[in-house]
C-alpha cells in the first residue's frame, strides 16, 4: 500500500454515518440539482476518497495554544474579537444573525457587508474552539445558529452571493471540523446546489466543495471544483492565473486578496485529485508571487494590488490573513517546509506589526518602513493607475473607511494555531512552531504532545509525550530554511536523524509516556539584501528586526470633521484611534563593510513576557552599528489636517529609498538597538547601505 492509499484508507470513518443528499451532474448552466442518490458522510479529520496531500489538517480544537500565543488570543478576545461594535459597520449590526441593514453612508458593493461579517465570524468561530472565553463564544454562535435555520440553494443566512458564501462557508467548515454537526455539512451541500457562474470570485466556493467531496465522496462536488479550476487556469486567457501567464516571464498581477484566494485552488486540486500539473503550477505561481512581491516582514505587496517590492511598499492587512491561509494549502499539498517558513515570517512579523499591542486597533495598510502613522499619512495612490484610497488607512483604528481588514485580521492567529500540527502518514507533524498542545488518536490510542517553547524568541523546543501505553508512530519535525545547525535529542540522547535545513525530519520510533524530544534551532543573524544590494534587513530565526523610531502617540476619542469626511460613516465609537508621529531620528544607514560583519552584532536577551511585542519589554534585542544620513529627506510633510480637497498635498508615506547622494554619512557610527518588527509602530526595517569609500 502506498503512502496516499494509506492515508485515505486509515482515515476512512467506519463508525456511525449519515446519508448526504448527492448532487447531480452539472447542467449546461452549471446548475446543481439534488437527487435521491446518497453518500455516506464522514466526520472531520477523515476522508472517503484518496487524499494526495503530504499533510492533512487536524480537526479545529485539536491543537490548543499555550504561553505567549494563548495570551495573544486572550487579548484578541478582549479587544476587537470580543467587541465588534467598536469596529463600526457592519460589525455593530446583527451580522449573520439576521439581515444586515445598509450602511449610513452608501458606499461599496451590496455584498460587502456579508463578506466583511464572514471574515469576522470565521475568525471568532475558530477562536471559540481555541480558548475558553465567553467573549469569543457568544457572537459566532448566534450567527451560526441563524445560518443553519435560514439557508438554501445559493444562500447562507441572508447572503445570496457566491464570494461572501465562500467566506462565511469557512466558518461553517471550522465549526463542522470542531463539532461534527451534521446539519452544517447539509447546509453547505444545499447552498452549493444553486446556480453559479465563474466570473471574478464567484467560482471560489471550490474550497467548500472539495472539503465536502473529501468527506462524502460525491463526485459532483469534485466536478464543481474542476469547473472553477478550468475557468481560472485553463479556459480564460484574461484570468491573471491563466496557465500561460503562470509559465511566462511576467509577474502575476491581480488584487492581492483575489490572488491569494484564487491560487489556493491549485494545491487544493492536487490534494483531492493527485494531478501533478496542479502542484507544478502551484509551485510556479506561488514562487513567482513571492519572488516579485515578498516584503521584508513576510507580507506580500498589496495596496491593494500585487506589485514589485520597493522600499516604500505596503500591504493590506487582509492579505496577511489571506496569504498565510493560502500558503498553508501549499504546505498541506507539497510538504515543503519552505511554505511553513513563509507563514511563520508573516505571522510573527507582519501580523503584530499591523495591530496595536492590545489588539484594539489595526492599520488597513502597513509598511516595513513607516515613519508616520497618522490620519493623513496614507498616500492616496494605489498600485494601479488612477486608484485612490482613504487617507487614514495607515493610522491605527478599530474602524476604517473600507471595512474588510477589521474583520479579516481576526482570522490570522487562530488560523495559525489550527495548523501548528498536522496529520502525516501514520503520525503527527509539528509544522508551525510555538507553545501548544495537540491531542490525537494514533492506531486507536490517545496521544498528547505538549510543545514547550518560547519560540520564536528562543531556540529550543521540547515535545513531551503523553500516552497510556507505548505506541509506534512517526513524529515529523520541521527544520527551517534559516537553520543550518539543528539538533534533536530524545530523552537526552542524540537522535539518529537527518537534519537538513528546509526539510522535515521524521522520528519513527516507539514512544512511551514521559518521553521528551528536544529540538534546538540555533538562530544566527542574517542580513537579507534588497534592491540590488542598496539596502539590507536584519533577521534572526523567523523574526525580522527594525529600528524602533521614537514616537509621539496621539490618542483620539473623536474624529475631526476632516477625518470623518473620509471614513464613510465609520467613525470612532469605542476604542480610540491612535496616531504616531516621529519624535526622534530615523534616517539610519549601514556601512557597506558591515554587511559581512553580522556575526559581530550583539544579541541581548531578557525574559519572555506574556506580551513579547512591547518595545519596552521585548525579549530579544540586537545592537548594530549604524550611521545617520543627514541628507536623506523625507518624501512627505507632517501635515496634520490638510483640506480634504487637497489630495495632491497628502503626505507620502512610507519613506523612499535614499539615492546615492542622500547616502552620504557624516560622523562615526553609533550603536543602535533593533527590536522585533512586531514590537514597533514607527520603524525602519530595510537599512540603506552606505557605499564603500564614503567619508565617515
Residue 352 has pLDDT above 80, yes or no: yes
What is 235-265 written as a DSSP string? I-TTSTT-HHHHHSSSPP-SBHHHHHHHHTH
Q: Establish how many alpha carbons lie within 13 A of residue 617's alpha carbon, considering only the half-sphere containing its beta carbon.
A: 9
What is 117-171 written as a DSSP string? HHHHHHHHHHHHTTS--HHHHHHHHHHHHHHHHS-BTTBBTTB--HHHHHHHHHH
Kindly give the residue spans of alpha helices, DSSP state H, lying in 29-111: 67-78
Q: In sequence order, which residues have a C-beta less than 8 Å from that of residue 549 and are 6 or more positions away?
A: 371, 582, 583, 584, 585, 586, 680, 682, 683, 684
508 shares its domain with 543: no
Residue 205, classified by CB atoms within 10 Å of its CB into exposed (0-12), middle (13-18) or buried (19+), is buried
Residues above pLDDT 90, as percent of the chain: 77
**Whether 49 contacts 217, CB under 8 Å:** yes
pLDDT band at 8 (very low <50, low <70, confident <90, very high): very low
514 shares its domain with 597: no
Q: What was the pLDDT predicted at 645?
A: 44
**Whether 417 contacts 63, CB under 8 Å:** yes
531 shares its domain with 490: no
Q: What was the pLDDT predicted at 593?
A: 83
Residue 109 has pLDDT above 80, yes or no: yes
Residue 286 has pLDDT above 80, yes or no: yes
In a domain, 539, yes or no: yes
439 shares its domain with 530: no
In a domain, 598, yes or no: yes
Q: In sequence order, which residues have a C-beta less than 8 Å from that of residue 417 and are 6 or more positions away?
A: 63, 64, 65, 69, 73, 126, 130, 434, 436
**Whether 681 contacts 586, CB under 8 Å:** no
What CA–CA distance (Å, rounded) separates 382 from 690? 30
Q: What was the pLDDT predicted at 516?
A: 98
Q: What was the pLDDT predicted at 195?
A: 62
**Whether 569 contacts 89, CB under 8 Å:** yes
Q: Count of domains in the chain?
A: 2
513 shares its domain with 599: no
In a domain, 413, yes or no: no
505 shares its domain with 541: no
Higher pLDDT: 301 or 371? It is 301
Q: In sequence order, which residues have a C-beta less than 8 Å from that of residue 452 and are 6 or more positions away?
A: 66, 435, 461, 462, 463, 464
What is 465-514 written as a DSSP string? EE-SS-EEEEEEEEE-TT-SS-EEEETTEE------TTEEEEEEEEE-TT
Residue 624 has pLDDT above 70, yes or no: yes
pLDDT band at 409 (very low <50, low <70, confident <90, very high): very high
- The pTM assigned to this predicted structure is 0.93
531 shares its domain with 502: no
Domain boundary, last residue among 520, 538, 567: 520
Q: What was the pLDDT predicted at 659?
A: 87
Q: What is the pLDDT of residues 21-51, one digit of tens each?
A: 333 222 223 333 333 246 677 878 889 999 9
What CA–CA distance (Å, rounded) separates 281 from 267? 9
In a domain, 474, yes or no: yes
3-class SS letters over 363-400: CCEEECCECCECCCCCCCECCCCCCECCCCCCCEECCC
Q: What is the pLDDT of residues 142-167, one digit of tens each?
A: 999 999 999 999 999 999 999 999 99
Average of per-residue pLDDT across 620-649 = 69
- Of 406, 622, 640, the C-alpha closest to 523 is 622
In a domain, 287, yes or no: no
599 shares its domain with 472: no
What CA–CA distance (Å, rounded) separates 566 from 375? 10
What CA–CA distance (Å, rounded) separates 121 from 504? 34
Residue 290 has pLDDT above 50, yes or no: yes
Residue 610 has pLDDT above 70, yes or no: yes
Q: The domain that contains 483 carries what CATH number?
A: 2.60.40.1180
Q: What was the pLDDT predicted at 192?
A: 92
Q: What was the pLDDT predicted at 578?
A: 96
What CA–CA distance (Å, rounded) separates 634 from 134? 47
**Whether 332 contacts 55, CB under 8 Å:** yes
In a domain, 361, yes or no: no
Average of per-residue pLDDT across 311-317 = 94
In a domain, 444, yes or no: yes
474 shares its domain with 529: no
598 shares its domain with 669: yes
**Whether 572 contacts 558, CB under 8 Å:** yes
- Of 240, 434, 414, 416, the C-alpha closest to 324 is 416
Residue 3 has pLDDT above 60, yes or no: no
What CA–CA distance (Å, rounded) separates 214 from 268? 11
Domain boundary, last residue among 520, 535, 563: 520
What CA–CA distance (Å, rounded) separates 169 from 481? 34
* Per-residue exposure over 679-696, b if at least 16 CB sit within 10 Å of its own CB, e if not: bbbbbbbbbbbbeeebee
Q: What was the pLDDT predicted at 654?
A: 61
For the record, the C-alpha cell of 415 comes out as 488560523
Backbone angles phi, psi at 646, to 5 degrees: -90, 55
Residue 376 has pLDDT above 70, yes or no: yes
602 shares its domain with 624: yes
In a domain, 263, yes or no: no
Q: In sequence order, which residues have a C-beta less than 8 Å from that of residue 16 and are 6 or more positions away?
A: none
What is 262-276 written as a DSSP string? HHTHHHHHHHHH--H
pLDDT band at 68 (very low <50, low <70, confident <90, very high): very high
Q: What's the domain range around 594?
A: 525-549+585-630+665-690
Residue 102 DSSP class: P
Average pLDDT taken over every residue of the chain: 89
For the record, the C-alpha cell of 15 comes out as 463508525
669 shares its domain with 545: yes
Amino acid at each position: 500500500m502506498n503512502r496516499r492509499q494509506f492515508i485515505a484508507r486509515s482515515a476512512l470513518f467506519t463508525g456511525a454515518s449519515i446519508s448526504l443528499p448527492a448532487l447531480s451532474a452539472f447542467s449546461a448552466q452549471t446548475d446543481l440539482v439534488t437527487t435521491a442518490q446518497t453518500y455516506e458522510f464522514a466526520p472531520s479529520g477523515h476522508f472517503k476518497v484518496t487524499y494526495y496531500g503530504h499533510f492533512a489538517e487536524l480537526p479545529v480544537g485539536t491543537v490548543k495554544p499555550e504561553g505567549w500565543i494563548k495570551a495573544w488570543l486572550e487579548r484578541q478576545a478582549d479587544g476587537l474579537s470580543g467587541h465588534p461594535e467598536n469596529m463600526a459597520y457592519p460589525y455593530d449590526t446583527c451580522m449573520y444573525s439576521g439581515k444586515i441593514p445598509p450602511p449610513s453612508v452608501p458606499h461599496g458593493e451590496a455584498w460587502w457587508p456579508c463578506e466583511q461579517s464572514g471574515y469576522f465570524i470565521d475568525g471568532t468561530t475558530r477562536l471559540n474552539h481555541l480558548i475558553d472565553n465567553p467573549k469569543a463564544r457568544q457572537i459566532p454562535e448566534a450567527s451560526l445558529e441563524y445560518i443553519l435555520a435560514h439557508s438554501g440553494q445559493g444562500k447562507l443566512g441572508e447572503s445570496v452571493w457566491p464570494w461572501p458564501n465562500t467566506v462565511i462557508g469557512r466558518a461553517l467548515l471550522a465549526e463542522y471540523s470542531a463539532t461534527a454537526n451534521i446539519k452544517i455539512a447539509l447546509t453547505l451541500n444545499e447552498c452549493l446546489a444553486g446556480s453559479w457562474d465563474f466570473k471574478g470570485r464567484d467560482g471560489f466556493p471550490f474550497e467548500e466543495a472539495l472539503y465536502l467531496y473529501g468527506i462524502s465522496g460525491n463526485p459532483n462536488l469534485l466536478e464543481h471544483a474542476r469547473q472553477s479550476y478550468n475557468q481560472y487556469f485553463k479556459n480564460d486567457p484574461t484570468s491573471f492565473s491563466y496557465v500561460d501567464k503562470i509559465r511566462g516571464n511576467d509577474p502575476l498581477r491581480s488584487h492581492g486578496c483575489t490572488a491569494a484566494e484564487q491560487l489556493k485552488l491549485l494545491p487544493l486540486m492536487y490534494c483531492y485529485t493527485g494531478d501533478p500539473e496542479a502542484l507544478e503550477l502551484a509551485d510556479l505561481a506561488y514562487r513567482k508571487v513571492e519572488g516579485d512581491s515578498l516584503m521584508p516582514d513576510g507580507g506580500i505587496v498589496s495596496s491593494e494590488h500585487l506589485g514589485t517590492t520597493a522600499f516604500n511598499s505596503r500591504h493590506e492587512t487582509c492579505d496577511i490573513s489571506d496569504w498565510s491561509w493560502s500558503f498553508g494549502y501549499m504546505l498541506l499539498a507539497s510538504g515543503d517546509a519552505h511554505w511553513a517558513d513563509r507563514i511563520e515570517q508573516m505571522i510573527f512579523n507582519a501580523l503584530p506589526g499591523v495591530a496595536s499591542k492590545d489588539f484594539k486597533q489595526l492599520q488597513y495598510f502597513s509598511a516595513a518602513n513607516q515613519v508616520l502613522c497618522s490620519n493623513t499619512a496614507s498616500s492616496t495612490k494605489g498600485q494601479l493607475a488612477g486608484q485612490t484610497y482613504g487617507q487614514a488607512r495607515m493610522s491605527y483604528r478599530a474602524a476604517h473607511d473600507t471595512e474588510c481588514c477589521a474583520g479579516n485580521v481576526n482570522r490570522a492567529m487562530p488560523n495559525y494555531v489550527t495548523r501548528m500540527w498536522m496529520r502525516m502518514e501514520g503520525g503527527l507533524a509539528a509544522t508551525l512552531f510555538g507553545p501548544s498542545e495537540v491531542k490525537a488518536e494514533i492506531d486507536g490510542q490517545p496521544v498528547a504532545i505538549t510543545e514547550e517553547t518560547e519560540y520564536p524568541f528562543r531556540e529550543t523546543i521540547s515535545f513531551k509525550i503523553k500516552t497510556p501505553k507505548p505506541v509506534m508512530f512517526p513524529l515529523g519535525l520541521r527544520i527551517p530554511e534559516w537553520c543550518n545547525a539543528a539538533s534533536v535529542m530524545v530523552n537526552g540522547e542524540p537522535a539518529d536523524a537527518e537534519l537538513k535545513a528546509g526539510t522535515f525530519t521524521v522520528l519513527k520510533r516507539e514512544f512511551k509516556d514521559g518521553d521528551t524530544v528536544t529540538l534546538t534551532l540555533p538562530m544566527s543573524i542574517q542580513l537579507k539584501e534588497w534592491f540590488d544590494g542598496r539596502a539590507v534587513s536584519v533577521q534572526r530565526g523567523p523574526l525580522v528586526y527594525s529600528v524602533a523610531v521614537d514616537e509621539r502617540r496621539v490618542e483620539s476619542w473623536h474624529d475631526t470633521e476632516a477625518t470623518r469626511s473620509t471614513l464613510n460613516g465609520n467613525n470612532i465609537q469605542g476604542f480610540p484611534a491612535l496616531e504616531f508621529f516621529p519624535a526622534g531620528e530615523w534616517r539610519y544607514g549601514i556601512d557597506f563593510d558591515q554587511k559581512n560583519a553580522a556575526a559581530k552584532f550583539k544579541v541581548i536577551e531578557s525574559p519572555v513576557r506574556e506580551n513579547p511585542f512591547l518595545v519596552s519589554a521585548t525579549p530579544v534585542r540586537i545592537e548594530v552599528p549604524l550611521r545617520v544620513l543627514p541628507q536623506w529627506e523625507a518624501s512627505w510633510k507632517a501635515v496634520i489636517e490638510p483640506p480634504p480637497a487637497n489630495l495632491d498635498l497628502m503626505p507620502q508615506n512610507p519613506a523612499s529609498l535614499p539615492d546615492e547622494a542622500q547616502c552620504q554619512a557624516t560622523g562615526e557610527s553609533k550603536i543602535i538597538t533593533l527590536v522585533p518588527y512586531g514590537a514597533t509602530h514607527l520603524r525602519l526595517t530595510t537599512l540603506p547601505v552606505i557605499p564603500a569609500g564614503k567619508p565617515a
